[in-house]
Structure 1
Amino acid sequence: MSEATHTTEILIVGAGPSGLALAVDLARRGARTLVVDRAAALFPGSRGKGMQPRTLEVLDDLGVLDAVRAAGGPAPVGMVWSEGSRQGELRMFDVSEPTEAEPYQGLWLIPQWRTQQILLARLRELGGDVTFDRELTGLAQDADGVTASFATGPEVRARYAVAADGGRSTVRRLLGIGMTGETVDPSPTLVADVRVPALDRDNWHLFPPAGETGFMAICPLPGTEDFQLTANFPDPDTVVDLSPDGIRKAVTARSHLAPEDVTEVRWASDFRPRAALADRFREGRVFLAGDAAHVHSPAGGQGLNTSVQDAYNLGWKLGAVLRGDADEALLDTYEEERRPVAAAMLGLSTRVHRGEERRGRATQQLGLGYRDSALCVDTRDSIPPDALHAGDRAPDGHRGGVRLFDTFRGPHWTLLTVGTAPATDLPPLKNVRPAHIPPYEAYGTGVFLVRPDGYVGWAGETPTGLTDYAAAAGLA
């Protein structure tokens, strides 16, 4: 090893939402983490602008929810236009009212660049940072760690590495991991951040296809003067013009707006919707997260959310192994749990894109879980399918002077007894906080060991059997 080699515990390649969320989670666990990105600065566009309710819960735990709420806003109702006239409102999402168990409902809009700024600020609060202008060129593994080389600067030696470097992941290519999938739509789509003072900011403006022009939507981005513009080009052979004049031309072809109504183009890109899943999420000491592991149509608002939750699943597991609390076998559960979730997300996003499913309960991600995971054990008999099981998201609620999300918040496990005597005869458990509440319909009664990522890891009518699970999970 060169004297100039930088050493760390975790190398994260990519400073997007998944990389930054993982770095925040690891930093609060005391892990030494290095985040590198090939770009000179954070991503400048609004691309992944929609936060689903489950992701808001994750961001609450990571300590950034207040900033995300302050910088964003609820998704506005759609307004359909035709020939310069408003045709009426269109409800684009099926939204339920918040409940005690599910305090956040509906899509929360915040441009991706702002989300990344907030996560980076939180990372810096915790003593971490991002090193920009670091383009990865090589990756080698051995029994003890990973060695990464870059176009400039010293090598990095780490115990583990995480690819969070997007759909065209360099890490994935260097590992030789394939992507299996399909083209969702051969037609190209333009996405841009623009300023259009001629449009009000009370609606998500929708312009249906007319003649040979494709669909266009112009959505106000809360906390900014910008709108996110998306425009489809039906001809698969179209080469999208990303210049300001090209974007103005696309707008005028689809709407009553004049070229000069688009006063500024701040960022622009294009893509062809595709759904693809990495053949595996792990290669030795390297893990794939976010778009490096799954690419998708943005229609269902799932990508950024799934990416952040990849990080949330992996972070506590890496932290436990680094501390020596858990065996490395714990890391096998990352792919076991997250790859099926990603596969289901790809199918959902594709159905939404094709108009086969509305945005509703499924897209909010509150029902996702890990019931089939080896890490989730339920010792109760004859539980109704709609009851809370091991592997399910642990609901919020206020009982006995306790708010559950306040109790769960932090890098620890929670031993929750509900409507039964507190578990007092267990041996001391590491990184576990006890909590007790009276009976609560979201849980029923019993004993629930809630994982650091807010899912029920173990459930029973009594603590019998919990000691064996705790030992296997590195808590005893």
Structure 2
Amino acid sequence: MTDGAVRNEGVLIVGAGPTGLTLAIELARRGVGVRIVDAAPAPHRESRGKGLQPRTLEVLEDVGITGRALATGTTRLPFRKYFDGARVNDTDPFADARPTPDAPYERGVLIGQWQVEKLLRERLAEFGVAVEGGTEVTGFEQDEDGVTAVLADGGRIRAGYLVGCDGGRSRVRKAMGVRFDGTTDATQSMVVGDVEAEGISRDVWHQWFASDGSGVMLCPMPGTNSFQFQAGPELDANGDPLPPSLESFQRIFDRYAQVPGVTLTDPTWLSLWRVNVRMVDRMRVGRVLLAGDAAHIHPIAGGLGMNTGIQDAYNLGWKLALATTGRAGPALLDTYEEERLPVAAWTLGITTELYARVREAVREPGTGVEAAAPPPMGTGYRWSSLAAPATTGDPGVLRPGDRAPDAPCLDASGNPVRLFEVYADPRFTLLGFGAGGAEVADAVGKLAIEHEDLVQAFTVTDGEAGEPGDLHDHEGHARRAYGLTASTPAPVPALVLIRPDNHVALLTQDPTEIASYLSQITTFPPKE
């Protein structure tokens, strides 16, 4: 709530879903004053988007909650398909997936959205920040120095920047006046909710389908007694969807599951969902930005909505922190839209295709919904102005803008440490590869001193612990992941600069290029 006074905060975040909470953590851990408000008076307990993809787990490891998410959810839940009441098969589309040194998460985790939000709130509280529930932003005014948010109770909040993370019906987006292009298909809809069901096993995701193309799915939600229910809705005489209810859920279940004696009970969430495919034409207007569903909404297939929003926040957080603290010009924020709008467009296309594949899968007795398993996310930003010009067109060669790979190493004391752990520092990370060479160590040391507030630096040797160097690539995984092998046809770059959101910024042999790049970040030029 507010006392009606205008208070000056660094960043005001509107909306405390996964996107807003991730952004708040990213700002708070960089020492930025942040205030996060939500119109709802209390957190919900709805499963909603129920999966975190491998790339999102990498992001959330940096944020600080992946271990907790893995302990709360499950990474292994087979799909059990039935057709016209008969069991067809049990499948696990990721059964053969294995972690690799450069990609530690080989599969996603099934976890309710409310549980993800709970973990994020707990992490945010570790920085002394709490969500202000029951605080509804109805509009805003902005000037050269900041933004004043107008609240439903007449109060006002002053901030340097405002970020709308307030969902598909975003009031912030509407007040910005940006376009929200796309379609809403009222003919394609689904009822979804959380219910309990005695007598149904919880060790598989049940998917009952029928020859008429309809069906029902029950997915057991880890850490609860609930299942997420998904089905096509019942229709009225005009062919319009009826409002969801426990009674209609029971009728749909009885019709398609054909499992006598099972009663659905204790509904905690009932919703009617329609196919929406929309995105904004701009993610920033002055000091106001959009992220997550406020900027792009997707078909439900693949669970990419929550994942894309979290990755929006991860991309924006470090840039907004530098702009807010004055260590970079506001023009750096233009790269947020430059990088994330194409990803949103790609994701919209992918989720639309996935939804079509799901609808087709239910018609084929031998095909499971696993045929629509989502593609990997985290495609990188090779097109970005923050990525140095590409030196090769080979997609298999690591280039600026790509996701930075992980690798197991040893620290100077011989203790195991992964590169992802090293990258968890909120600054840029500079890796200087070399066999303990004085030239590499000297270059890395000078850059670390000159740009201490912006970069942390490490020398990486290919020997065992005890030799000179901050990190020891004792098994060669880091060198292979970053293309620094004896078979590399081009001159081997010795310096690798990693962005705070764990993407490759620059690969070079010239320390002056690193210094120039870091200076560009602090004085980022506006668009021409």
- Cα drift, residue 475 of structure 1: 9.2
Is residue 53 from structure 1 mapped to residue 54 from structure 2 by the alignment? yes
Structure 1 residues 8-157: aligned runs within 5 Å: 8-92=9-93, 96-152=97-153, 154-157=155-158
Q: 1:232 to 1:423 in 2, by over 3 A?
A: farther
Moved more, 145-154 or 127-136: 145-154
Aligned counterpart, 1:221: 221
Q: Which of residues 461, 465, 469 in structure 1 aligns to 2:509?
A: 461
CA distance in 1, matches of 2:185, 2:382: 29
For the 8 Å contact 2:246–2:265, the answer to whether it is kept is no
Q: 1:384 to 1:419 in 2, by over 3 A?
A: farther
Is residue 436 from structure 1 mapped to residue 459 from structure 2 by the alignment? yes
- Cα drift, residue 297 of structure 1: 0.6
Secondary structure of the structure 1 residue equivalent to 2:187: coil
Is residue 238 from structure 1 mapped to residue 286 from structure 2 by the alignment? no
1:431 maps to a residue whose letter is: L
CA distance in 1, matches of 2:190, 2:455: 48
Q: Which of residues 370, 386, 390 in structure 1 aligns to 2:396?
A: 386
Structure 1 residues 184-223: aligned runs within 5 Å: 186-211=187-212, 214-223=214-223
Give the % identical residues: 40
Aligned counterpart, 2:381: 370
CA distance in 1, matches of 2:331, 2:25: 23
Q: 1:385 to 1:210 in 2, by over 3 A?
A: closer
CA distance in 2, matches of 1:5, 1:31: 19
Aligned counterpart, 2:309: 307
Aligned counterpart, 1:452: 500
For the 8 Å contact 2:431–2:458, the answer to whether it is kept is yes
CA distance in 2, matches of 1:123, 1:217: 34
Structure 1 residues 162-201: aligned runs within 5 Å: 162-183=163-184, 186-201=187-202
- Cα drift, residue 259 of structure 1: 7.4
Task: Provide, for residues 271-308 of structure 1, a one-character-per-residue CA deviation record: whole Å limited to 9, x for no partner.
Answer: 11121111111111110100000000110221100000
Task: Provide, for residues 391-416 of structure 1, a one-character-per-residue CA deviation record: whole Å limited to 9, x for no partner.
Answer: 00100001354420111012111001
CA distance in 1, matches of 2:210, 2:346: 29
- Cα drift, residue 184 of structure 1: 6.0
Secondary structure of the structure 1 residue equivalent to 2:114: helix
Task: Provide, for residues 231-290 of structure 1, a one-character-per-residue CA deviation record: whole Å limited to 9, x for no partner.
Answer: 124869332332221221222222113575212212111111121111111111110100
From the CA coordinates, give the structure whose radius of gyration is larger. 2
For the 8 Å contact 1:13–1:161, the answer to whether it is kept is yes
Moved more, 246-255 or 197-206: 246-255
For the 8 Å contact 2:283–2:291, the answer to whether it is kept is yes
1:240 maps to a residue whose letter is: L
- Cα drift, residue 61 of structure 1: 0.7
For the 8 Å contact 2:56–2:310, the answer to whether it is kept is yes
For the 8 Å contact 2:250–2:264, the answer to whether it is kept is yes
CA distance in 2, matches of 1:424, 1:456: 22
Secondary structure of the structure 2 residue equivalent to 1:350: helix
Task: Provide, for residues 74-112 of structure 1, a one-character-per-residue CA deviation record: whole Å limited to 9, x for no partner.
Answer: 141111123543221244568631101000011211100
For the 8 Å contact 2:433–2:459, the answer to whether it is kept is yes
Question: Which ranges of structure 2 fall in alignment gaps of 5 or more residues?
Answer: 361-369, 412-416, 463-475, 485-492
For the 8 Å contact 2:21–2:120, the answer to whether it is kept is yes
Q: TM-score, normalised by structure 2?
A: 0.84
Q: Which of residues 404, 414, 418 in structure 2 aligns to 1:403?
A: 418
RMSD: 2.3
Task: Provide, for residues 14-47 of structure 1, a one-character-per-residue CA deviation record: whole Å limited to 9, x for no partner.
Answer: 0100000001111111111111111111232101
For the 8 Å contact 2:215–2:256, the answer to whether it is kept is yes
CA distance in 2, matches of 1:92, 1:185: 31
Task: Provide, for residues 195-246 of structure 1, a one-character-per-residue CA deviation record: whole Å limited to 9, x for no partner.
Answer: 11221111110111344x7222111111111111111248693323322212
For the 8 Å contact 1:431–1:475, the answer to whether it is kept is no
1:216 maps to a residue whose letter is: V
Moved more, 406-415 or 287-296: 406-415
CA distance in 2, matches of 1:20, 1:335: 20
- Cα drift, residue 418 of structure 1: 3.0
- Cα drift, residue 423 of structure 1: 5.1
For the 8 Å contact 1:146–1:160, the answer to whether it is kept is yes
Q: 1:195 to 1:21 in 2, by over 3 A?
A: same
1:370 maps to a residue whose letter is: Y
Q: TM-score, normalised by structure 1?
A: 0.93
CA distance in 2, matches of 1:53, 1:318: 25
CA distance in 2, matches of 1:37, 1:257: 41
Q: How many residue pairs end up in the alignment?
A: 471
CA distance in 2, matches of 1:461, 1:237: 66
CA distance in 2, matches of 1:419, 1:378: 24
CA distance in 2, matches of 1:373, 1:170: 29
- Cα drift, residue 48 of structure 1: 0.8
Q: Which of residues 385, 409, 424 in structure 1 aligns to 2:442?
A: 424
CA distance in 2, matches of 1:309, 1:378: 24
